[in-house]
């Protein structure tokens, strides 16, 4: 029993040593070149023996690393970084004249950002806040008048300035919708293994951004025209002239 317990403790100890020797090189964006490094001041060479895909298949076999002082590097081209997940780099060098193996991992994501629970909470909270503000704004717009005040006969009796607030809120809702698509694109890129949804939301975002500038230009023209027309209409109403509709 004591031997079994001792063997179990020794096994856990050895496993912890092996696990501690496997470090992460970082997180990189999908379909980009990655410069893999190994530092050794007491080596004359370092070679990569294999790079393993996230699905445990081999990406490349043995490759020599280029030396620059005590830094050895090898560039993994973008053809081999198309699959999101954790890659494993195995290699060896002659540390102090003795062949010594080494291993580390790196992660590939669509955006190049490491997935984390904290980041997920922040992104989801931002998205929910934007969605809540959007629907609140649309609800507020529905309660605001779209034109001037009229009597039962359809004649304009006064100028209603709240219709301009309605126009401002519609612009605000448009900007919120842009933010929703941008945030949804980032969330999809971070947490989905496929970039289809990310591309869909980003294309909506890009299309809306392209439309924003001409729409703002048209909005300002409409605003200037409406204010000018309302000033003329107000002067006519003050003179007692009944208007059956807006000019």
68-113: per-residue pLDDT in tens? 998 999 999 999 998 888 899 999 999 888 989 999 999 888 778 7
Model confidence at 15: pLDDT above 60: no
Span 150-179, average pLDDT: 86
User: pLDDT for 183-213, tens place per residue?
Assistant: 888 787 777 756 678 788 888 999 999 999 9
User: pLDDT for 104-145, tens place per residue?
Assistant: 999 888 778 776 677 778 888 999 999 999 999 999 998 888
Residue that wins the pLDDT comparison between 92 and 240: 92
State the pLDDT at residue 6. Answer: 37
Span 10-26, average pLDDT: 49
Task: Record the pTM.
Answer: 0.59
Model confidence at 1: pLDDT above 50: no
The token duo for 31 is 């379909």
Q: How high is the mean pLDDT of the chain? A: 82
State the pLDDT at residue 20. Answer: 39
Other CB atoms closer than 10 Å to residue 168's CB: what's the count? 13
Report the 3 state secondary structure along the chain: CHHHHHHHHHHHHHHHHHHHCCEEEEEEECCCCEEEEEECCCCCCEEEEEEECCCCCEEECCEECEEECCEEEEEECHHHCCCCEEEEEEEEEEECCEEEEEEEEEEEECCCCCCCHHHHHHHHHHHHHHHHHHHHHHHHHHCCCCCCEECCCCCEEECCCHHHHHHHHHHHHHHHHHHHHHHHHHHHHHHCCCCHHHHHHHHHHHHHHHHHHHHHHHHHHHHHHHHHHHHHHHHHHHCCCCECCCC
State the pLDDT at residue 82. Answer: 87
- Report CA 140 to chain centroid distance, whole Å: 29
Give the sign of the dihedral formed by CA 133, CA 136, CA 142, CA 146: negative
């Amino acid at each position: 029993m004591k031997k079994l317990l001792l063997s179990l403790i020794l096994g856990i100890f050895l496993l912890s040593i092996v696990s501690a020797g496997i470090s992460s090189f970082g997180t990189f964006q999908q379909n980009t070149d990655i410069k893999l490094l190994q530092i050794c001041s007491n080596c004359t060479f370092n070679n990569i023996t294999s790079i393993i895909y996230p699905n445990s298949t081999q990406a490349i076999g043995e490759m020599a690393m280029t030396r620059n002082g005590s830094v050895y590097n090898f560039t993994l081209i973008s053809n081999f970084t198309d699959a999101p997940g954790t890659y494993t780099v195995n290699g060896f060098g002659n540390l102090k004249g003795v062949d010594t193996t080494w291993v580390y991992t790196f992660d590939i994501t669509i955006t190049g950002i490491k997935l984390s629970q904290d980041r997920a909470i922040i992104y989801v909270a931002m998205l929910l806040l934007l969605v809540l503000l959007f629907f609140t704004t649309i609800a507020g717009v529905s309660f605001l008048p779209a034109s001037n005040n009229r009597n039962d006969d359809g004649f304009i009796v006064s100028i209603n300035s709240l219709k301009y607030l309605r126009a401002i809120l519609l612009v605000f809702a448009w900007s919120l919708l842009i933010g929703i698509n941008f945030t949804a694109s980032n969330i999809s890129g971070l947490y989905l293994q496929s970039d289809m949804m990310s591309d869909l939301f980003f294309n909506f975002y890009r299309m809306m951004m392209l439309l924003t500038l001409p729409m703002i230009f048209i909005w300002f023209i409409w605003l200037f025209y409406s204010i000018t027309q309302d000033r003329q209409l107000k002067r006519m109403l003050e003179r007692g002239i009944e208007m059956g509709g807006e000019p």
